[in-house]
Amino acid sequence: MKRELISQALNMLDDRHISDTASFDPGVIQETPERIVHMKKKRIISLALAAALMLALGAVAYAVWSIHTARQQELKADLKIEENNVSSYNEYAITDDQASGLVLLSSVNDGDVQRVFVNISPVSEEDAGGFPKETSFSWSIDGTEIGGFAGPELPTSLSLSGQDEIRQAVLQYAYDKETQTMTLQCYIDVSFLEQAKNALGTDSLPLLVHMTVGQKETTTFGPALFSQTEEQRRYFDFDHTIYHDTELDKDIEIVGLELTPFSAVWKVSYEGAESFHTPEADWDAYQPWSKLEDKVCIDTKLVFKDGSTFSTGGALTTPYENGTVNLFCGWGSAINIDDVQRIVLGDLVLWEAK
């Protein structure tokens, strides 16, 4: 047990118990020997009970403190932060007195989204296991109307289907039964952070986390102050390289790539691109271009120093902005963006380190 926890537990003891055990001199006590013996037993029992209480309180406090630090280590390992030199990752200090409520663990800026990892408690096992059917989580910035989705933090390698699989994974990886602690990830659009900072006039934003279970009243945890993490981004200029797809017999211009440890934005352009990314788009005419967009995101390989390769995967969003279609891709664990040596699409070399 930590010295600070022992001190804290001792401070909870009544002064008279401490004074009773500070000294014992039968010569100054006006009682019969029988009374003295009885008092000795009573004081020994009281001291033993106080020590047991101190140990129990200390054990509970230590268990709660430990789950926060343990979760931080698990997150760092799962996200591969240290091995990939991720400077945009921020880990919050966990003090001994941080127990129940809302505790900030860490955060990372992946370019478009600030991902904030938190612990909340107490959360009953029944409520934790109710996700996603009965239990839902959300976040908000106190003092504003800005808010969004939060969800249980699970290992990035997991692939789940069905509510039963999700429930079991949540209880196994995101919930600690002993301390009734749930680990969540808050997904906060970077543009929301700018709005909140402007509305509140400060960079330190008060985060609230909410848990709603069925028709019950929503439980709110927090607030806890956090700030936007500085992003880590690298841009690759492809000098408007043209890729010709023989299967579709179409040309697509690959302008550049914005890369962070957790996301990518492929910037492409082609004939009629702007018209295909509007609500009135001709979806049948767009289909071959959609396939070509996917090919750029999925088939292009990032080649690292050791020869290993990485695909950014399919695009999650495809807005048309500033003259290009911006294909946003995201993934779980970090990559080392400073280690990229070549970027290739088939036989076409888009970029190579010199």
Are 95 and 220 part of one and the same domain? Answer: yes
pTM of the model: 0.77
Residue 100 domain boundaries: 86-226
Mean pLDDT of 178-191: 95
Q: Is residue 81 part of a domain?
A: no
Q: Is residue 166 part of a domain?
A: yes
Are 193 and 277 part of one and the same domain? Answer: no
Q: Is residue 12 part of a domain?
A: yes
pLDDT at 97: 67
**Domain total for the chain?**
3
Q: Is residue 261 part of a domain?
A: yes
Are 98 and 196 part of one and the same domain? Answer: yes
pLDDT at 354: 85
Q: Is residue 80 part of a domain?
A: no
125-153: pLDDT as tens digits: 999 999 999 999 999 999 999 999 999 99
Burial of 300 (0-12, 13-18, 19+ CB in 10 A): buried
pLDDT at 231: 87
Among 28-42, 143-157, 204-218, where is mean pLDDT lowest? 28-42
Are 203 and 321 part of one and the same domain? Answer: no
Are 212 and 264 part of one and the same domain? Answer: no
Q: What percent of the chain has pLDDT over 90?
A: 72
Domain boundary among 226, 253, 277: 226
Are 97 and 220 part of one and the same domain? Answer: yes
pLDDT at 242: 97
Residue 53 pLDDT more than 90?
Answer: no
Q: Is residue 152 part of a domain?
A: yes
Domain boundary among 226, 249, 281: 226
Mean pLDDT of 36-42: 49
320-354: pLDDT as tens digits: 999 999 999 999 999 999 999 999 999 999 999 98
Question: What CATH number is attached to the domain comprising 221?
Answer: 2.60.40
Are 316 and 281 part of one and the same domain? Answer: yes
Are 135 and 54 part of one and the same domain? Answer: no
| Mean of the per-residue pLDDT values of the chain | 85
Domain boundary among 226, 252, 282: 226
Are 200 and 310 part of one and the same domain? Answer: no
Are 70 and 91 part of one and the same domain? Answer: no
Work out the pLDDT band at 162, boundaries 50, 70, 90: confident
Among 4-13, 128-137, 258-267, 289-298, where is mean pLDDT lowest? 4-13
Are 164 and 260 part of one and the same domain? Answer: no
Q: Is residue 254 part of a domain?
A: yes
**Greater pLDDT, 48 or 324:** 324
Q: Is residue 23 part of a domain?
A: yes
Are 186 and 276 part of one and the same domain? Answer: no
